[in-house]
Every structure is written in structure tokens, then in C-alpha cells.
Amino acid sequence: MRKLTPIAALALAAAVAAIAAVPASGAEYKTHAEECREAAKKMHFGIHFIRRDRWIRRCIRGEVEPH
């Protein structure tokens, strides 16, 4: 039973952390996604559609900044 208590505490802490990370509202997401798409247009990816889409997804997640 003593080994179960720390494991349960870690599981509870992970659940609380997941709930605390509330995603942005739909309007904020759409605005940010549109900014990222506009920045991608200016970057001239040419025929590299997969690379462009990957960059847009990374921008939306906040890994890269739109220029």
C-alpha cells in the first residue's frame, strides 16, 4: 500500500496539470492560424506543400514565430 500512494500522487498531479493547460479559444486559434498562413505565403515555399504545412503547424503550436 505504501508504494501505491506515491504512484497515485503522481497520477493525480499529472491529471491536474493536464486540466490546467487549457487550450486557446476557437477565435484565438483561428486568428493565430490565419497569421501563420499569411506568414507562410510570404516565405515562398514554392512547390514544397508538405514543408509549408509542417511550418504552419509548428507556428500554430508556437515553436516558430511568424515573421
Residue spans of beta strands (DSSP E) within 1-67: none
Print the domain residue range for 47.
24-67
pLDDT at 37: 95
Instruction: Please give the pLDDT value at position 31.
Output: 92
Report the 10 Å Cβ neighbour count for 32. Answer: 16
Q: Cα separation of 38 and 21, whole Å?
A: 27
Q: How many domains does the chain have?
A: 1
Decide if 55 is inside a domain: yes
pLDDT per position as a tens digit, 21-60: 556 688 888 999 999 999 999 999 999 999 999 999 999 9
Is residue 6 in a domain?
no
Is residue 13 in some structural domain? no
- This prediction has a pTM of 0.60
Cα–Cα distance measured from residue 64 to residue 59, given in angstroms and rounded to the nearest whole number:
5
Span 1-23, pLDDT tens digits = 566 566 666 666 665 555 545 56
Residue 46 falls within a domain, yes or no? yes
Q: Give pLDDT, residue 54.
A: 95
Asked if residue 16 is part of any domain, the answer here is no
Is residue 17 in some structural domain? no
